[in-house]
Amino acid sequence: MENKKVNFIDTHCHLDLYKSSVNTIKEAEKAGVILVAVTNTPSVFYFTENLSTKYNNLIPAIGLHPELAMQRKKELALMWDILPRTKFVGEIGLDYSSTGQSERKVQREVFSQIIQHCFDISNKVLTIHSRRSTVDVISIVGNSFPGKIIMHWFTGTQSQAERAVLNGYYFSFNSSMLNSKNGQLLAKIIPREKILTETDGPFISIDNEPVRPGYIPQIVSKMAVLLKVEKDELQKNIFENFQTLMAVENGYSQ
C-alpha cells in the first residue's frame, strides 16, 4: 500500500464473480488501481484473502449482501470469526426493492448485528447497499459510528444524502451513477472530501462487457468533466480520501 504510483481507487468490486479474477487484478494493477474486493457471503472471503497475499493492489472485504441475508444468516458466526482479519466490510446493508415485510425484518436484524459488531471493534470501513432503504440504513448506522461509512451506488434523495454527509459518510460513484440525473446531482453536492470511486463490477456493463477495475481512470475523467475540475486534481482528492479510510486504526494492512 506504500506504492505511490497506485492512485486510482475501486472501493467496490465483486472480484470473485469475474471469469478470471487474476486477470482482473493484473489489469487493475497495470492501470494503477487499488481495488477492494467485496463479497456477498462471508465464506467467499477466503478466496479473495488468498489472492491478496499475492497482489498488493488488492484488499479483501467480508460481507453479507442484504438480498442473501435470509438464506445465509447462518454464516454470521463465520463473519464474526473473520472480522478481525480485515479492515473492510462489505457488501452489507438493506434492500427493499422487491422484498416483503418478513424478509425486510430479517435484513434489518442481520444488518443491525453487523453494525454492532463493527461498532464494538471500532476500526472498520463499511461499504453499504441502501436501495430503497436509505432511511432505515441511516437510522441503524447512526451518526456516531467509530469507523468509516461508504454509501455504495447511492440512489437516495438529495436530502438523505445531505443527512448522510452530516453523519460523516462517504459516497462511491460508478459509471451508471454518472450517467443518471440523480447521480450527477449527487456528485455535484457531495463535498469533494467525501467522494470515492467504484465499479461494482461485474454488475455494470460498458460496451456490452462487464466493467472491470481497470476502468476506474475513465470514471475519474468523466466525473472531472462533470465537476469542471482537472482530472489529476480529482484523482488526488479521491486517493487522499481513501488514505483517510486506510488510517482507521488497527485494521487490515497490506
Q: What is the CATH number of the domain that holds 74?
A: 3.20.20.140
Whether pLDDT at 252 is above 50: no
Q: Which domain holds residue 104?
A: 8-246
240 domain residue, yes or no: yes
pLDDT of residue 250: 44
Whether 15 and 35 have beta carbons less than 8 Å apart is answered as yes
Q: How confident is the model at residue 249 (pLDDT cuts 50, 70, 90)?
A: low
Domain count, the chain: 1
Predicted confidence at residue 251, as pLDDT, reads: 38
Question: Which residue is associated with the grid cell 470473485?
Answer: 16
Residue 176 lies in a domain: yes
- Please state the φ and ψ torsions of residue 74, each to the nearest 5 degrees: -65, -15
Going by the DSSP 8-state scheme, the letter that residue 215 receives in this structure is: G
CA distance 61 to 71: 20
Is residue 251 in some structural domain? Answer: no
pTM equals: 0.95
In the sheet with 148-152, reading across from the earlier edge strand, the strands are 8-13, 33-37, 58-62, 88-95, 125-131, 148-152, 170-173, 195-197
Asked if residue 49 belongs to a domain, the reply is yes
pLDDT digits (tens, 9 = 90+) for 65-74: 999 999 999 9
Distance of alpha carbon 125 from alpha carbon 46, whole angstroms = 19
Report the mean per-residue pLDDT for the chain: 95
Within its chain, how far is the Cα of 83 from the centroid? 16
pLDDT in tens, 44-60: 999 999 999 999 999 99
Residue 186 covered by a domain:
yes
- Would residue 97 count as lying in a domain? yes
Residue at 2 is within a domain: no
Q: Where are the beta strands (DSSP E) in the chain?
A: 8-13, 33-37, 58-62, 88-95, 125-131, 148-152, 170-173, 195-197, 205-206, 209-210
Is residue 253 in some structural domain? no
Instruction: Compute CA distances 85 → 9, 65, 250, whole Å.
Output: 21, 19, 10
pLDDT of residue 119: 95
